[in-house]
Amino acid sequence: MTDIQAIVLALLQGVSELFPISSLGHTILVPALLHWRNIDRSGPTFLAFVVVLHLGTALALLTFYRKEWWAIVRALVASVVRGKLSDERDERIGWLLVVGTIPVGILGVLLQHPVRALFGSPAPAAAFLAINGLVMFAGEALRRRQHAAVGRTDHPIERLTFAQSVGVGFAQSFALLPGISRSGASMVASLLCDLDHEDAARYSFLLATPVILAASLLEIPKLFAPDAHVVAMQAIVGCIVSGVAAYLSVAFLTRYFKSNDLRPFGWYCLIVGVTCFVLARMGVLT
């Protein structure tokens, strides 16, 4: 892997992990589009590099939401010590995040490798990216219908039920499929649970933080694989680049979703997904 490739992949990871456009799908499709045949995606050096990129993204999310996380962790510890649940906002959000993380934690560990072995090539990733776009359109349409027909109104995150949080967590699990976006799936599920776009994005990013952090921490032994030290410098630069890109992305998206919806990302996923699928079927993407 060259230095330029490392920086491009780090930028791609930092941006696409938080934008609802699937980081996994893009890390399959972009190298295939650019014919980067020198990258061995299952090699120890590349895996170590990917671990560090995820660590950068997770640290960026933790930094951006540092005040909220501090309040949530304190509230969680206090409730365990007390042995009693209260209606306090941070505590409620904390337990919703814990409950919502369980499905993706279990399914991620059990299904990650078989799913990637089955679908980790350009054509399925492109197809799922297009489906990801359709899911965002469908989510927006359903939400508008719910609000128009039934007269449902938005409520804050802490009003989610635990069952709804498990549902959002299950939706997030679909991101195991390359091309399906973690933040996109959890945002659509949150919107259907009557969060507005701003809160849906915030809840999605908070829910993603422990998952991305745990996934990268669990893979840290790969950094000590015999050949992994070869990419040490690229990994350090990659961590910084992906961290900065993720921080800027989350800052942009939290502002964007104050007054906008998922449809532009839906169009992007649909157009790129269909185009890449056609290219893959023609043998252009390898």
Q: Are 47 and 235 in contact (CB under 8 A)?
A: no
User: What would the DSSP string read from start to end of 148-202?
Assistant: III------GGG--HHHHHHHHHHHHGGGSTTS-HHHHHHHHHHHTT--HHHHHH
Nearer to other proteins, 221 or 264 (CB): 221
Chain positions 149 to 208 lying near other proteins, rule: CB under 8 A, are none
- Confirm or reject binding of residue 111 to other proteins (CB under 8 A): yes
Chain positions 54 to 93 lying near other proteins, rule: CB under 8 A, are 80, 82-85
- Confirm or reject binding of residue 102 to other proteins (CB under 8 A): yes
Q: Which one of residues 74, 114, 134, 144 is an interface residue with other proteins (CB under 8 A)?
A: 114
Q: What whole-number distance in Å separates Cα of residue 230 and Cα of residue 224?
A: 11
Residue 168 CB, nearest approach to other proteins (Å): 18
Nearer to other proteins, 117 or 278 (CB): 117
- Confirm or reject binding of residue 110 to other proteins (CB under 8 A): yes
Residue 106 CB, nearest approach to other proteins (Å): 6
Q: What whole-number distance in Å separates Cα of residue 8 and Cα of residue 34?
A: 11
Alpha-carbon Rg for the chain, nearest whole angstrom, is: 19
Helix (H) or strand (E) holding 91: helix 89-119
- With contacts defined by CB under 8 A, name the span among 16-24, 56-64, 101-109, 119-127 that binds other proteins: 101-109
Nearer to other proteins, 30 or 225 (CB): 225
Residue 79 CB, nearest approach to other proteins (Å): 8
Phi-psi category of residue 36: left, alpha or beta, with phi > 0 → left and psi -120 to 50 → alpha: beta
Nearer to other proteins, 74 or 82 (CB): 82
- With contacts defined by CB under 8 A, name the span among 24-32, 104-112, 119-127, 273-281 that binds other proteins: 104-112
Q: Which one of residues 66, 113, 147, 281 is an interface residue with other proteins (CB under 8 A)?
A: 113
- With contacts defined by CB under 8 A, name the span among 25-33, 100-108, 196-204, 239-247 that binds other proteins: 100-108
Q: Which long-range contacts (C-beta less than 8 Å, at least 24 apart) are formed by 12-15? A: 13/50, 13/53, 13/54, 13/56, 13/57, 13/238, 13/242, 13/245, 13/246, 14/53, 14/56, 14/57, 14/60, 14/241, 14/242, 14/243, 14/244, 14/245, 14/246, 14/249, 15/245, 15/246, 15/249
- Confirm or reject binding of residue 118 to other proteins (CB under 8 A): no
Quick note: the x/- pattern for other proteins over 207-226, rule CB under 8 A, is -------x---x--x-----
Q: What is the 3-state secondary structure (H, E, C) of 97-133?
A: HHHHHHHHHHHHHHHHHHHHHHHCCHHHHHHHHHHHH
Q: Which one of residues 34, 73, 109, 251 is an interface residue with other proteins (CB under 8 A)?
A: 109
- Confirm or reject binding of residue 98 to other proteins (CB under 8 A): yes
> Quick one: which of 162, 157, 158 has its CA closest to 190?
157
- Confirm or reject binding of residue 43 to other proteins (CB under 8 A): no
DSSP state at residue 39: -
Residue 220 CB, nearest approach to other proteins (Å): 10
Binding footprint of other proteins on the chain (CB under 8 A) = 80, 82-85, 98, 102, 105-106, 109-111, 113-114, 214, 218, 221
